[in-house]
Amino acid sequence: MKFSSTLAIRQPGKYLFGLSPWLLVGVSFVLGLAVLVLAIRNSERERTHTIQSYFERAEALIWALEAGARTEKGLGVQGDLLQALIEETARQPGIVYMSIVAPNGKIMAHSDVSNVGSTVPDGALPVDLVTRVAGYKEGRDDGGKVFEVYRGFSPLSQQHEPQGAHAKKQGETHREHLGSHMGVEAASPAESLEKGAASSFIFVGFDKNPFDDALAADLMNNLLAACLVAGLGFGGFISMFWAHSHKVSCRKLKDTQALASEVLRSLPLGLVTSDPEDNLSMINATALTMFKTSRELIQGHPVKSLSGLDWDSITSALARDKKILERETVLMPIGGKRIPVSVSASEIRDDGGLFLGYLYILRDITELKRLQGEAQKNTRLTTLGTLAAGVAHEIRNPLSSIKGLATYIARKMLEGGPEKEAADTMVLEVNRLNGVVAELLEFARPTTIKFSETDIDAVITRALRLTEVDIKSAKITVEYTARKDFPLVFASSERLTQALLNLFLNALQAMQPGGKLGVRVKPLSNEEYAIEVSDTGHGIAPDVLESIFTPYFTTKPSGTGLGLAIVQQIIEGHGGTISVTSEPGQGTSFTVCIPLRPQEASWQKKP
């Protein structure tokens, strides 16, 4: 026997609240996509912020160069101070180059002195001198990228501006280069003229690789965050599913355990299980009742502690054959009566074949044995009745001839002579044999019992009147009180009188002079009544008691053994039962229980 560890089989395609698993995947995908969009937007904001930082730094550098150029002019310093300023300023980390270019394209100053005096390609200069543009310049010598900021360079236009006006113009300039980067139109030429024309262009080239590396790292972090959030979301859904499944599984497990406990409790079979060491692990209520013990006394003890069975032979057969099917034996519990049982046993293994113990099932077959006995008895009685009917039919005709001949001889013989006495004796024996044949035919013939409303008191009184001569000759006292208030019953008065007459005669034959015959009738319920016939005779031995209703079984020297068998047949024809209790030397009591209104199926007497 294998036990499966699977608690329940989940329906395919449905996991949580009856929803498809693809819905969980879709929700997780949407969640991850939303996080990804937010990550991209965050990267764009970081890009904008970095570009703004480049512009601010370039603005500060250009302002410092313009201030230096103004100082040079104001002090009248001779020499190429602007070239020196550019070279020193370009030494700062992250600056690739700085240059000042005239409107005709000639490089006036450059962080790389070798480039001074050269000309930039056509189309590389801005349209006007005040335009600020953020752009990328590819193709550095080392293969890197450059973020280039350029605008008009006019150190003299701000020389005499008040401090407030200069700050205001710096703010406007900052907004202009941001507007240019974000797609907003630059200042118009008219506005440029109002601010003062620039004398040249200044270019600042920043190393873009750190910028790109930072953006890539930021994007990677955002992507990782998006994957993490999507994973957490998906994990949350999975956790919800697992929690719900666990809750459902726990509820199903509790229901299954409750159902299993109820099944085991109500199971009409005794069920016992043991562990691999054959120690008792489980026993149901039916088995406890059969073994006449309690759970507290035997829990955890070896199975052999359940006394009453030959456990050695059972375990030996189980070890040899691996299973036992319907092995009949006898259970003899301490303090209880013998119980015929059928034992089945097998090994308990899980799905992997691991040995878990043994399972024993005990079935009380007392009723089965009784039914088998009754079936055998009925088969035997049917055969015996058929044989008796044939024999009685063949014997009755010769008996009639013998009786006629004996009667004729008796008439011819003298009174008082031995011949006359022999002939009379022959007639008496023929009459006795004819009575036996009549009983045989009565027992074997299938007859129909005709029911009618009957006064049970009249039936009992009539049967007692028929035995009145025997009662008086044996000096027997009869105890019977008529029940005039007893309701009418449906019965065959003739057949019921015959049954009671046989019971009365048996009681008289079992008693010595001076005995007491008791007759009592009482209602058992609204549907049944009982007639009790008791005597104070010698009683019936226990070994004989079980056979008194068997045809042709008798303890009397001259009995036929059909009297009580016919009584049982008549009572069962009324749909009733007859039982007997007796104690040797204390007397015997017969109890007849008959329905007030027998069922239609019981009206037809069975052979």
Residue 460, C-beta contacts closer than 8 angstroms, at least 6 positions apart: 480, 482, 500, 519, 521, 531
- Same domain, residue pair 172 and 298: no
Residue 155, C-beta contacts closer than 8 angstroms, at least 6 positions apart: 65, 66, 67, 69, 70, 73, 199
The DSSP secondary structure of 582-605, one letter per residue, reads EETTTEEEEEEEEESS--HHHHBP
- Same domain, residue pair 336 and 429: no
Residue 244: its pLDDT value, please? 77
Q: Do β-strands 477-479 and 133-137 pair in parallel, antiparallel, or remain unpaired? A: unpaired
Domain boundary among 346, 364, 382: 364
- Same domain, residue pair 292 and 144: no
The tally of domains found in the chain comes to: 4
Residue 446: its pLDDT value, please? 56
- Same domain, residue pair 599 and 471: yes
Is 19 among the domain residues?
no
Both tokens of 406, joined, read: 């004996």
Run of H or E residues at 356: strand 355-364
Whether the Cβ atoms of residue 561 and residue 443 lie closer than 8 Å to each other: no
Residue 22: its pLDDT value, please? 64
3-state class of 445 per DSSP? coil
Domain boundary among 364, 380, 404: 364
Calculate the alpha carbon distances from 447 to 241, 490, 607 in Å.
75, 17, 8
Q: Which CATH number fits the domain that encloses residue 170?
A: 3.30.450.20
Both tokens of 553, joined, read: 């079984």
Whether the Cβ atoms of residue 386 and residue 446 lie closer than 8 Å to each other: no
Is 232 among the domain residues?
no
- Same domain, residue pair 477 and 582: yes
Residue 409: its pLDDT value, please? 82
Whether the Cβ atoms of residue 290 and residue 339 lie closer than 8 Å to each other: yes
Q: Which CATH number fits the domain that encloses residue 425?
A: 1.10.287
Separation CA 358–CA 365 (nearest Å)? 22
- Same domain, residue pair 341 and 390: no
Range of the domain at 292: 268-364
Centre a 10 Å sphere on the Cβ of residue 568 and count the other Cβ atoms it contains. 19
Whether the Cβ atoms of residue 1 and residue 349 lie closer than 8 Å to each other: yes
Residue 63: Cβ-neighbour burial (10 angstroms; 0-12, 13-18, 19+) = middle
Separation CA 207–CA 147 (nearest Å)? 6
- Same domain, residue pair 57 and 205: yes
- Same domain, residue pair 395 and 497: no
Is 226 among the domain residues?
no
Is 1 among the domain residues?
no
Q: Which CATH number fits the domain that encloses residue 498?
A: 3.30.565.10
Q: If you ran DSSP here, which 8-state letter would residue 302 be given? A: B
pLDDT averaged per 10 residues, the chain (length 607):
42 48 67 74 80 84 80 55 84 87 86 87 66 54 73 61 41 40 33 47 84 78 75 72 80 79 75 85 84 81 84 84 85 80 88 85 86 76 70 74 81 78 81 72 65 89 87 89 84 88 89 90 85 90 81 68 81 88 89 80 38
Whether the Cβ atoms of residue 223 and residue 39 lie closer than 8 Å to each other: yes
Number of H helices, E strands in the chain: 16, 18
- Same domain, residue pair 500 and 581: yes
User: In 3D, which of 289, 322, 400 has the Cα closest to residue 2?
Assistant: 322
pTM (2 d.p.): 0.41
3-state class of 428 per DSSP? helix
Residue 443: its pLDDT value, please? 65
Residue 138: its pLDDT value, please? 53
Is 10 among the domain residues?
no
- Same domain, residue pair 76 and 108: yes
- Same domain, residue pair 510 and 425: no
Both tokens of 22, joined, read: 């693809």
Centre a 10 Å sphere on the Cβ of residue 365 and count the other Cβ atoms it contains. 17
- Same domain, residue pair 61 and 208: yes
Is 288 among the domain residues?
yes
Separation CA 346–CA 314 (nearest Å)? 11
